[in-house]
Chains A and B, each alone.
Chain A
Amino acid sequence: MNRILRKLFSNTTSLIGIILLIIFIAIAIFAPVIAPPLSEDHYIIPRMSWDINPQPPGSPMSDEIRDVYDYMGAKIKYDRAIFGTAEGGYDIFYGLIWGTRTAFKIGLITVSISMLIGLFIGSISAYFGKWLDEILMRITDIFLSFPFLVAAMVLTTVLGRGLDKVMIALIVFGWMGYARVIRGNILSAKEETYVMAARALGVKDNKIIWKHLLPNTIFPVLVEASMSIGSMVVTASALSFLGVGAPVGYADWGQMVSFARNWIIGSPGQAGQYWYTVLYPGIFIVLFVLAWNLIGDTLRDILDPRLRGEL
């Protein structure tokens, strides 16, 4: 374990990934300091104006809005759209800062739950084999046969709007990869003599899977998981962009890109006039995914003996 950490920190690419990730974690933790919330629900993006047109970076909060907050008796700790506003006056900066929390939530929760489901199904399928393996793997095949994005979209539409619905959809169609990987690994590992030795000592099946097999086989799954945290966030963003994800006004990166949908090309004669509506959310998403991919890549290099040059 120490060796893995040391390698992660001594490798330039993974170091970049780790630094990016640390920055994102800091943003997520200090979100209330960086972008002080104006309303009760912190995930609601405040509006800086009622104007439908995006406002350029640095525009101040409009007087009407200020009046509303004054009327509600809220303290205005924050009154300038640093990255400009998106369609409808939504503050891009606030959306991105609090969207970082959303991104972590989506990434970590969906990946960890789908990994657990995958590990469970894959390991019992491989260990017990025979008809159980047959049934579980055919179910996995059925789930795999759906195109991921379309399936997730349909399920989210059926379940209704909301971040939790998005996560459920991502989990339901996201566990199969882990199940397949762990199944393959356990199929080969369970032929090892140490498994036979453990059985010869009278160790119970669940303990053999949990204590003897998983520690030997889980690393490829962890690599895949770390890589897919990024892609889960992209998929969630895509769902939001398509309008089936987080509710309107919820701090979510996909939502921010979705706000930019009508403004990407700019206005006639002024191409790219509203660049800030798409560039800033784009940067956040790209860097977040990049961070996880760099870490995942390095993890794979460290843990795969064939790439390490030792075999």
Chain B
Amino acid sequence: MITNNKEPLLEVKDLKTYFFTENGIVKAVDGVGFKVYQGEILGLVGESGCGKSVTAFSIMKLLDYPGKTVGGEILFKGENLLRKTDAEMRKIRGKDIAMIFQEPMTALNPVLTVGFQISEALLMHFKISKDEAIKKTIELLKKVGIPMPEQRINEYPHQLSGGMRQRVMIAMAMSCDPILLIADEPTTALDVTIQAQILDLMSTLLREFKGSLIMITHDLGVIAEIADRIAIMYAGKIVEYANKRTIFYSPLHPYTFGLLTSIPRLDIEMKRLNVIPGIVPNPLHFPEGCKFNPRCRFMTNRCKEEEPQLIQVEEGHLVRCWNIDKVAEEVKKELLVGECEYK
């Protein structure tokens, strides 16, 4: 469901969020930009520490000292969130933009009942009575597939399983019918069968209220299942941005390519699983030129000297690389072999 002709719901332009630490400035997010249209699911993919969560927190303006958004614009429904005051932001958080966290074990307060935590947001954003809030809470729990919601609302998080807790988190996030949902690795802490259930639930709910979702994950399987458009992040920058089909079929950035070849495949004979050599660079000392160059198999001298810009190679496909042609060739040779059909 990709439409380009209407206004984006959320537009992030050249977002820069730095951490001012004692050892120096950490450029966690350095010039990230993307658009999210209504009803669309954007996947934000990258390794740990590449800045995807920081991007999410910057949008919500939830970063505390020493983190600070130093530049860029976050246009939500045409209004710049970075200009909003704390009180204005508080009205937007939970009501218009909600967030689902990675660890359902720690994202719920252990000493408060599930019912209290869900109805809290309702009572905050709407003028309703406690009884109505509880009624709505029970409905929400029913919607996210929790059996016996009337009893569950009086239970504490430790009485629920991991999957249940993530359902509660989703109910919390959905409680005020937000138009934009940011999910920060919502399925990482769950096992695979539960992951599938949760993803199913999320896409069903999203379709129901026509909301948008920013899905942050490092799991390409999750992304393949749910996303419309994908932004691949590396070292605080977006390195490739395209729709799902393009990313999985014809990636043009060596990092995306590396990620895809690191997925175990059942359809072709492989002696060893591919890996991307090296480690994530230290954010205090990023390499000169392209930040991916020390780990890149297509590296040339130019990569060491000059940082590539995010260029548009075709409609809706942006890549940050000097050696697009070489990558495209390799993709044809290595990635698109075997019988496996990507969906």
Contacts and interface: CB of A to CB of B under 8 A. Distances in A.
A203 interface: yes
B172 A201 contact: yes
B51 interface: no
A200 B110 CA distance: 17
A199 B62 CA distance: 7
Contact of B92 (A193, A202, A203): A202
Interface footprint category on A: 10 to 19
Top 4 A-B pairs, shortest CB-CB distance? A202-B94, A201-B94, A202-B93, A200-B99
Contacts of B172: 197, 201
B132 to A, nearest CB: 18
Contact of B101 (A130, A196, A203, A212): A196
B252 interface: no
A200 to B, nearest CB: 4
Nearest to B118: A201
Nearest to B182: A200
Interface of B: 60, 62, 64-65, 90-95, 98-99, 101-103, 106-112, 117, 120-121, 124-125, 169, 172-173, 175
Contact of B110 (A129, A203, A207, A216): A216
Interface string A203-217: 110010001100110
Given A202-B92, A202-B95, A203-B120, A197 B110 contact: no
A192 interface: yes
A198 interface: yes
A194 interface: yes
A215 B117 CA distance: 14
Given A200-B98, A201-B172, A216-B109, 19 more contacts: A193-B106, A193-B107, A194-B109, A194-B110, A196-B62, A197-B99, A197-B107, A197-B169, A198-B109, A200-B60, A200-B93, A201-B94, A201-B175, A202-B93, A203-B120, A204-B124, A207-B120, A211-B120, A212-B109
Contacts of A200: 60, 62, 93-94, 98-99, 101
Nearest to B105: A193
Contacts, number: 70
A212 B117 CA distance: 10
A202 B101 contact: no
Interface in A156-211: 192-194, 196-204, 207, 211
B105 to A, nearest CB: 9
Nearest to B56: A200
Contact of B124 (A129, A201, A215): A201
Contacts of A197: 99, 101, 107-108, 169, 172
A211 B109 CA distance: 10
B68 to A, nearest CB: 13
A201 to B, nearest CB: 4
Contact of A203 (B98, B99, B124): B124
25 contacts: A130-B65, A192-B106, A193-B106, A193-B107, A194-B109, A194-B110, A196-B62, A196-B101, A197-B169, A197-B172, A199-B62, A199-B93, A200-B94, A201-B93, A201-B173, A202-B91, A202-B92, A202-B94, A202-B95, A202-B125, A203-B121, A204-B124, A215-B112, A216-B109, A216-B110
Contacts of B92: 202
Contacts of A198: 109, 117, 120
Interface string A6-18: 0000000000000
A202 to B, nearest CB: 4
B282 to A, nearest CB: 23
Contacts of B120: 198, 201, 203, 207, 211
A283 B206 CA distance: 70
B103 to A, nearest CB: 6
A199 B109 CA distance: 12
Contact of B90 (A193, A194, A196, A202): A202
